[in-house]
Amino acid sequence: MNAFFFGLGFSSRAALTQLRIGSRTVNVSGSVRTKDKADLLTGQGVDAHVFDGSAPGATLGPSLRRASHVVFSIAPGADGDPALVHHRADLDAAESLEWLCYYSTVGVYGDFGGNWIDESAPLVPRNERSDRRVQAEQVWRDYAQARGVPLAILRLAGIYGPGRSTFDKLRDGTARRVIKPGQVFNRIHVADIGRVTALAAQARLDGTFNLADDEPAPPQDLVAHAAAMASVEPPPEILFATADMTPMQRSFYADNKRVSNAAIKQALDIELLYPTYREGLAAIYESEKP
């Protein structure tokens, strides 16, 4: 397997790790935004290239043309997906291409008033960034169909994991308990993203799937739970209506839904490593102990 990742960020690095664990013969290449990040990954045995999405990556073409599996983890811009905008010719020239994967978001669904939904729900995005995701999903479906290769679209819930959890926000003072009655969110631990991506790559999974936890929950519950685990005082409750938030922060609360993950679990015959925030936070807490 020659795997190429457009955007070796938090989720992609977890997938990279799982691919390496699952196969001794996987070669991993990918893009990052800066030379410093590329140098760091190169030192870890990754064929890393600089690509910031604004212009073609100067060195990544040959690696992409050798790819058998390609994962796209870069947000689309106003002009579309940067990978297709700048490197479609290289992807077209990948003669050994066997599988594509696109990381999307559950934000494509919009608001369902807290009701349960699955992949059959209509897409009614509530903001421009989610609308771009809807468009990018279809562009990749069209491309995959034209190439005759399977495509897995993984619609990710709110991502958390070591270094990016409620514990970090409690430590740096940015954790808040914002109360909006009835509001819930799904989340997904980064380790589950990595594992599912690796299993999907090995199976060459085709289709669109939600990747979310089993228990959507009010955001303030996570803060209170993490604070209790860490034996610290939780921040005070703040009403959503009066909370000081950026327009982007406030936009997340416009979507209220419970996202089913039954399809991906059935497709890969798995259960999640961290089915709820409680297991996920417990694992992070243990990993941070000295």
pLDDT tens across 47-83, in order? 999 999 999 999 999 999 999 999 999 999 999 999 9
Q: Has residue 151 been placed in a domain?
A: yes
Residue 29 placed within a domain: yes
For residue 207 the two structure tokens come to: 């289709």
- Average pLDDT (243-249) is 91
DSSP summary character for residue 161: B
91 pLDDT above the threshold of 80: yes
Cα torsion for 91, 92, 93, 97, to the nearest 10°?
A: 70
| pLDDT tier, 111 (very low <50, low <70, confident <90, very high otherwise) | very high
Residue 225 pLDDT greater than 80, yes or no:
yes
Please state the separation of Cα 170 from the chain's center in Å: 23
Residue 89 corresponds to which amino acid? A
Has residue 60 been placed in a domain?
Answer: yes
Which pLDDT does position 126 carry in this prediction?
Answer: 86
Looking at residues 165-183, what average pLDDT do you find?
Answer: 96
pLDDT in tens, 62-72: 999 999 999 99
Rounded percentage of the chain residues whose pLDDT exceeds 90: 94
Q: With bands split at pLDDT 50, 70 and 90, how would you rate the model's confidence at 22?
A: confident
For position 290, what pLDDT does the model report?
81
Q: How far is CA 92 from CA 65, 95, 148, in A?
A: 8, 8, 12
Tokens standing for 77?
């811009």
| Average pLDDT estimate for 174-187 | 96
pLDDT, average across residues 247-253: 90
Residue 243 lies inside a defined structural domain of this protein = no
Among 14, 2, 1, 53, smallest CA distance to 31 is for 53
Compare 127 and 261 and report the one with higher pLDDT. Answer: 261
Residue 33 banded pLDDT, cuts 50, 70, 90: very high
* Residue 23 in domain: yes
Give the mean pLDDT of the chain.
96
Contact, 30 vs 228, CB < 8 A? no
Distance CA(47)–CA(39), nearest Å, equals: 10
Q: Given a cut of 90, is residue 285 above it in pLDDT?
A: yes
289 — pLDDT class (breaks 50, 70, 90): confident
Residue for token digits 């729900």? Answer: 121
| pLDDT band, residue 205 (cuts 50/70/90) | very high
Q: Using the predicted structure, report yes or no on whether residue 260 has a pLDDT greater than 90.
A: yes
How many domains does the chain contain in total? 1
Q: Give me the CATH number covering residue 104.
A: 3.40.50.720
Is residue 229 assigned to a domain? no
252 within domain boundaries: no
Q: Which domain holds residue 41?
A: 2-160+187-213+258-273
